[in-house]
Amino acid sequence: MESQISRIIKKLDALKKKDTQFTTFGSETHRYKLNKPKSENELLEFEARHGIKLPDGYRAFLKRIGNGGAGPYYGLEPLEDSTSDDLDRPVDKEWIDPSKPFKFIEPWNVNEEDSTDFNEEEYFSKELMNGALKISNFGCGISLIVIVNGTEYGNIWVDDRGNDQGIYPDPYFKNNGRINFLDWYEFWLDDSLKKINIDKSVNFSLEESIKQKFLNLVKRIRNK
């Protein structure tokens, strides 16, 4: 893990130096800046308060690199905001409970047109995010989550109920396989550096193009 942490630090520094115009998707928001890392005591306090143990890679990132900031999409959320059910509009009492197991092991959704018992309140219930922390905002009602309790512990999933697409493992990075936090973050760095190196004149901040690519992957998975 130490070698991967060192690689991530070097790659993030390289990306920051190369992308001075903030052309990668979301970089105009985070501008490759990181928040101050969490101390060991702060991490222990968070874990004790929520009755969980943070996945090792995510924990190491928070302690060694930064507590949110530069990262995939619009960047990483600070740990203290990760229990908010709505990253766009954090509101008191809208908190998810990471101490309870995450209930999903396969992609999940409800087809509103085919379901006679569709309940919108239940579909958008914050209880469906139990066992998870929301770590990144993709925009368009999509949140990236890391599972901290349950069978999928340590893996990155997507909460796409805002677009009626349900909840599923992150398809963008590993073709609907499973990916942990550090691999997910490093893949973002490698992908961003590759695009910058191929053609620095290309504007990779065109959100619709990237979002469409993401949504096309989701459609392919759902049609399998």
Q: What are 4-15's pLDDT values in tens digits?
A: 999 999 999 999
Question: Tokens in use for 47?
Answer: 């874990």
Amino acid occupying residue 58: Y
Across residues 196-224, what is the average pLDDT? 59
**Helix (H), strand (E), coil (C) string for the chain:** CHHHHHHHHHHHHHHHHHCCCCCCCCHHHHCCCECCCCCHHHHHHHHHHHCCCCCHHHHHHHHHCCCCECCCCCCECCHHHCCECCCCCCCCCCECCCCCCCCCCCCECCCCCCCCCCCHHHHCCHHHHCCEEEEEEEECCEEEEEECCCCCCCEEEEECHHHCCCEEECHHHHCCCCCEHHHHHHHHHHHHHHHHHHCCCCCCCCHHHHHHHHHHHHHHHHCC
Task: Check if the beta carbon of residue 87 is closer than 8 Å to that of residue 81.
Answer: yes
Neighbours of 193 (CB within 10 A): 17
- Cβ-contact 108, 176 below 8 angstroms: no
Cα 13 to Cα 38, 86, 88, 149, distances in angstroms: 20, 30, 28, 32
* Residue range 45-51: mean pLDDT, rounded: 97
**CB proximity list for 200: less than 8 A, separation 6 or greater:** 18, 23
The pLDDT of residue 202 is 46
Q: Which amino acid is located at 221 in the chain?
A: I
* Dist CA 140 CA 44 (whole Å): 33
| pTM for this predicted structure | 0.84
Percent of the chain with pLDDT over 70: 81
Greatest mean pLDDT among 99-113, 133-147, 210-224 lies in: 133-147
Q: Evaluate if residue 93 carries a pLDDT over 70.
A: no
Average of per-residue pLDDT across 78-93 = 79
